[in-house]
Amino acid sequence: MQVLLDLIARHKQGHATGVTSICSAHPIVIEASLRQAQRTGQAFVLFEATCNQVNQDGGYTGMKPADFVAFVHGIADRVGFDRARLALGGDHLGPNPWTALDAGAAMDKAEVMVGAYVAAGFRKIHLDCSMACAGDPEPLPETEIVRRAVRLCRAAEAAYASAGGEAPVYVIGTEVPVPGGATEAIEGLAVTTPQATLATIEAHRQAFIEAGLEAAWHRVIASVVQPGVEFDHHNVVDYQPQKARELSHAITTVPGMVFEAHSTDYQTRDDLAALVRDHFAILKVGPGLTFALREALWALDAIEREWIDEAYRADLRDVVLRRMRAEPGYWQRYYHGEGHGLSIDLQYSLSDRIRYYWPDPVIEQARQRLFDNLRENPPPLPLISQFLPHALHALRNGTASRDPLSLAMAHISAALDDYHHACHHHDH
């Protein structure tokens, strides 16, 4: 994936340039990202799918890797965004969805998944075998993590050899917590040590070369570390550059590689820029964008309450809460409140478990009805100002219309703008 190799090369030459890795499968988030890229003239947009979202069994989105590619391409075509400017990545690819199986069976499935991702056109591959499977010691020894990563790299290289096209680039290492976000409140977040980081990179380098994967090693662009950023249900741990100074410096000694930072959602604009400056040049964001989508939908629901006759309202918010309570599978392990406290978490938790519910047909029908209501009766500016001030700003600037979809995308774009500023502000 030449665009990423070029970007990393620029960063290593001293340009504080980075890339936003958008980890979402929501069509409105994807469309907002593409329209923002058109507006700002970005050379490419990077979308990633996780092993839990998309795999050969369908993942929680119901999509296999080729389905996700077709899904993103379909939105790009509709928006008029050149497919050649799309970069696709697979995040935490490894045995994570199948850890209930023994390692042999789980790794067989992980191998199939990685091959399917590469065959479908994903070219940024995060090899993550850090999780223990049934019968494994916990935590898994690093030698075993590396051995399994090499096995998956081999599967990816074989898939690329038969598919052709651009060679995949790789990301190694993992951070705590596991894909999907922190399950508990954060206590004393530890920044990865430089020693651990360099040892992980060196262990992978030796294993790749011993396995005859030297060409692939030259396409390893990043290692995932914990720079000291995280969020739980109600709080954000902000980036503190002084705590990550030694870690940041460590990667300057490694040719061709930067750090990838996960869970950068909800960091401030200045903190995101500081992360990129400090070589955490790949900024992963997911729940933060669907959280912004939910904010926009709740705001449109509030506008509907003020503006649309009660008999015709979609009452999206009420519908979502009813469906979430009826089908608690996606939030039960994460939210432990009751009564009003639970109602607050269901809607407003920063971990945004609500994102799993948007594809629900009953919820989607209510969302469409809400949008139809506000299309037939466009709300006046003061109501938009009251509930969606970011969108009003875009509307007055001429970058959004009064259409509810446009208003929602404008609100998401405000979150994306902070990332764009962090990754590109030194270019201007």
Question: How confident is the model over 83-105, as pLDDT tens digits?
Answer: 999 999 999 999 999 999 999 99
- pLDDT attached to residue 423: 98
Question: Residue 183 pLDDT > 60, yes or no?
Answer: no
Structure tokens at 173: 């290492």
Banded model confidence at residue 177, pLDDT cuts 50, 70, 90: very low
Question: Residue 178 pLDDT > 60, yes or no?
Answer: no
- pLDDT attached to residue 187: 66
Give mean pLDDT, residues 378-401: 98
- pLDDT attached to residue 176: 57
Point out which residues pair with 285 in neighbouring strands: 22
- pLDDT attached to residue 175: 79
Give mean pLDDT, residues 260-284: 98
- pLDDT attached to residue 425: 75
Give mean pLDDT, residues 289-311: 98
Question: Residue 181 pLDDT > 60, yes or no?
Answer: no
Question: How confident is the model over 114-137, as pLDDT tens digits?
Answer: 999 999 999 999 999 999 999 999
- pLDDT attached to residue 180: 47
Query: Can you tell me the distance from the alpha carbon of 53 to that of 63, in angstroms, rounded to the nearest whole number?
Result: 7
- pLDDT attached to residue 184: 55
Give the three-state DSSP class for 337.
Answer: coil
Could you give the domains of the chain? 2-288 (3.20.20.70), 291-422 (1.10.400.20)
CA angle (131 as vertex; 193, 72 as ends), nearest 5: 95
- pLDDT attached to residue 179: 44
Q: Name the percent of the chain in helix, strand, coil, to the closest 5.
A: 55, 10, 35
Q: How many CB atoms lie within 10 A of CB 26?
A: 17
As a whole-number percent, the residues of the chain with pLDDT over 90 amount to 96
As a whole-number percent, the residues of the chain with pLDDT over 70 amount to 96
> Rounded mean pLDDT of the chain?
96
- pLDDT attached to residue 427: 55
- Distances in whole angstroms, Cα of residue 204 to Cα of each of 27, 193, 196, 221: 36, 17, 12, 13
Beta-carbon contacts of 337 under 8 Å, excluding residues fewer than 6 positions away, are 344, 345
Banded model confidence at residue 67, pLDDT cuts 50, 70, 90: very high
Banded model confidence at residue 185, pLDDT cuts 50, 70, 90: low
Beta-carbon contacts of 133 under 8 Å, excluding residues fewer than 6 positions away, are 95, 98, 99, 100, 101, 102, 103, 106, 107
Beta-carbon contacts of 254 under 8 Å, excluding residues fewer than 6 positions away, are 198, 201
Task: Note whether 119 and 103 are within 8 A (CB).
Answer: no
Give mean pLDDT, residues 371-392: 98
